Structure 1
Amino acid sequence: MSDAHHNSESSFGCACVQMTSGPDPARNLAEALELGQSATAARADFLTYPEAVDLLDPDAERVKAYARPLEQHEFVLGMRQLAARQKQWILIGSVTARSASGEIVNRSVLIGPTGAVLATYDKIHLFDAPANRDNPVPESVLYRAGGTARVFSLPWTTIGLSICYDLRFPLLFRALTHHGAKVLCVPAAFLQSTGEAHWHTLLRARAIENGCYVIAPAQCGVPHAGRKNYGHSLIVDPWGRVLADAGDQPGVVSAAIDLAVLDTARTALPCLVHERTFSMHTPNTAEAALNAHA
């Protein structure tokens, strides 16, 4: 594990906290604070947590009753205190929150080193795969989908925000990149089955195709009966190289984000400036029949 602390204006240290959050918010907060105060986490300039870090509960009614505005959210308040105490940037991958209009949202929260909430992002692509034992409630039953993508400038670089299922929609990440993102954040709670199939591949693809670093803190283990999370929080560089992998147990991994590597990758493979617009020709029925008999 590398020392996460930055040593120049072109690099900074990042850490991913990997957890097994469950139906007990108080326990989840205690674990988040304990891991966040570990030596590796405390050295990082930018500390990141997974999706649903405050609560993973299969009971939809309990989730609805738990949701609250950020200013009243005990988990967010705890993380704000941690950020101020350790003087670091913290990304809460997501919490179950209530919007200003009272709707429940799956919301990322970015906290600055003074403890102030500086940016939020509501998950755009809700996981509405067919309900099964692993995923009993489609997300749209609980949450209102977000409609606005978000980038934010840290002292060292610009990050693009996303959450979990967003990973499967590459146009979102291209838009974030074209709006200045050099680091893509993908906090997640991937299931074991889909994680084994796609997690590493998709994260490496988003890094390579956009010439970006990818930081992906994840949930691991069994949060409640019937669900198993994949884990493997990853930090990936713009060449698709995995710099840190947390495996399948709770803990913290870290790596240095070196923006010189990003500049080299984008210079060697200038895909972002070689994009071209194009038209699409789809033969109509008459054209297709004519061509078939030509």
Structure 2
Amino acid sequence: MTNTTSAGYRNIRDTAAAYRRGDAVLALGGPDRFAALSYLLAKRTEFAEPGTLVESAVLNAEGGIQDVVLALIGEDEVLLVSELPEFFDVRAALAAGGFNDVTCTPRPDIALAAIEGPASWRAIEPLIELEVSSLLLSESTPATVPGAASATVYRTGTTAEYGYLIVTEGLSAEALLACATERALAVGGGVTDRAALIRAQAEVSHPVVPEQFTGLNVREAGAVWLTSPDRDDEFLGSAALADVAATRSLIAVRATGAEVPAGAEVRAGETVIGTIHLALPAAGEADGFGLALVDLPFNVPGLDLNADGVALRTVSRPAADPRSWVEAIG
């Protein structure tokens, strides 16, 4: 991959990396907005307090995942944030669920950017008044971002490093990313591109949307954690979820000193047991990394496999060593 990708990956793992987040933002309003949110998302939201966020899968009628969204819980509205260029048909889903007293409004005036990495807390600290170590995972605090009518910082992340989401109103996405990049540069980091980001995300089992879910149900994709499987109420896709099973599933694979061959058959000895479902960018790392879709019971770490003559080893995740796990905030 390019030097930009290599540098972006190292920013994520070593210092701080800025990137744009959220290509589509919708606001749910009206008296039934919380019930509607609970219906749309596969993860429980009834205990989510204003000022917090929830990340959840949105299922389709077949028990697959059609999106992974952030729900930013506000006092008067809920913002839904998607990484896809366009949302699924939220209005049609709500109408089918009988939610007629809910507004669904695009919010192009909302911009989002993220900063992740072991030094990201240092980057975000000048934007907030709250002691940065006091901001807990999924919580938010008001922020000051030049040029924005209002701003909020949420603590969240996708790479197992410290991470923060900046949400602004009245500022362009480009201007917000420039601000986030400036803050990351101030602590020795910089920007990251999507290629580096998805490599870092896949290493720690954060979903790669939409590529990871192509042709798979939620169990095959190893994404049950993006749902609340113990729910007994009705929600979008819940009828299919009860019947979803898996005879195959994803497992992370590493290729020492080589790239993982995209789309190749995966073999245990001479027996074909699956395919490479997703080959991740090298991002400057010596070893290739990918997700293999293999038959059960081969979805376990520690197996030696091969694909197109490339030796693979199945690995548990996290398959990286996040510095944020050993370096404290503050």
Give the TM-score range, shorter chain: under 0.3
- Normalized per residue, the structure richer in helix is 1
TM, length-normalised to structure 1:
0.26
